[in-house]
Amino acid sequence: MQRIEEIYWLRAYGCLAVFSFHLLDHLNQRVDTLFTDLIRIPTVLGTPIFIFISVFLFSMRYGRTIPQGFLGSRVKYVMIPYLIYGLAYSMAEFLRLRAAGVDASLVETLREYLLYAGWHGYFLIIAAQFYAFYWLYCCLHLERWLPSTPWLVIGSLISMAWWGYWQWSSELPAGYLHWIAPLGWLYLFFLALVLVRHYHDRPETRPAWLVALARPRWLAALIGLVVVLSLPGWIEYSSKEVWVVSLFLLFTLWVMGRLRGRRAPPLVKRLNEFSFGIYLAHPMFFNLVDVLDSSQHLPLPLYVLALATVGMAGSIAWNLAVNRLAWGGLLFGKRLRVA
């Protein structure tokens, strides 16, 4: 398969977006202002980017011909790290609560993290579901009933309705169960299929609607609207919001055209190599900084610098170390091969 340079850029951006989103969570414990809210806007795209990239690359590489063992191989590389890191983070949370004098139950904590996906690794369950959906879509020729272009519109409306429902619901299910339901992410699947379908089209033969929506004016206008709605506090910031569906669609259509063929520099490719490991491990190192500075003596700029440096360097070093072991990549996050 040809190298798709724009995917390198997207994956690096997604990695930094997730990293920055969680860094801002820690920062908000010390300062919470409109500025820290506004800089969250570009970070909400992180999780959707990783889901989109998975479907895009599979569709580009395999088309409708799924290789033998595809589903089992893909699922094990996301669900085994889900269990390993879920155990680690749940045990850390249990010990933290007990140290704080909270009468926490180990069974309840494990249930929250592993069964209800109540930690940032919920993305891995979503990925596993879309691997299965892609396998079914190809094997059962579902494109006959679910053509990608109409279903991009239908899927976007379903996703927006899903997030809107839970935004206004007074009762939420346990953990992140409503986050991992595929309905909220359906638009990503069909967006990937649409872009693969038209990837090799000449500019003059691409659908007019695709060309029109890829113009940066629409993306700029939407971002401006989100900023305006942020001023009175009407906007929540996460990848699970109604407005993020439109933002991701316009952003991806624009960036896939803007970066088409633009070679990714070594730093971007290096970030791609460790993106999965960074995604999984960075909160562990953020928490280490908080433990070491539990009395909050560090000035705010140094605290942010410590989070960024320790979080990034620690995650990369950890991923390098575990991938030296025979089963390290499978258990703790595989280091990607980047040409």
Whether the Cβ atoms of residue 14 and residue 45 lie closer than 8 Å to each other: yes
**pLDDT the model gives residue 1:** 57
Alpha helices in 100-207 (DSSP H): 106-110, 122-139, 148-168, 177-180, 186-197
Whether the Cβ atoms of residue 284 and residue 120 lie closer than 8 Å to each other: no
Q: List the structure tokens of 125.
A: 């369950």
What is the C-alpha separation between 281 and 335, in angstroms, rounded? 13
Whether the Cβ atoms of residue 80 and residue 136 lie closer than 8 Å to each other: no
What is the C-alpha separation between 117 and 285, in angstroms, rounded? 20
Whether the Cβ atoms of residue 80 and residue 276 lie closer than 8 Å to each other: no
What is the C-alpha separation between 61 and 250, in angstroms, rounded? 24
What is the C-alpha separation between 24 and 15, in angstroms, rounded? 14
pLDDT along the chain (339 residues), means of 10: 86 97 94 91 96 94 86 92 96 90 90 95 95 94 94 98 92 93 97 95 90 96 96 93 97 94 92 96 96 90 96 97 93 89
**pLDDT the model gives residue 69:** 86
The angle subtended at Cα 126 by Cα 125 and Cα 127, nearest 5°, is 90
What is the C-alpha separation between 249 and 219, in angstroms, rounded? 9
| CB-based contacts of 144, cutoff 8 Å, min separation 6 | none
**pLDDT the model gives residue 295:** 86
> Phi, psi (5° rounding) for residue 328?
-65, -45
What is the C-alpha separation between 226 and 219, in angstroms, rounded? 11
pTM for the complete prediction? 0.95
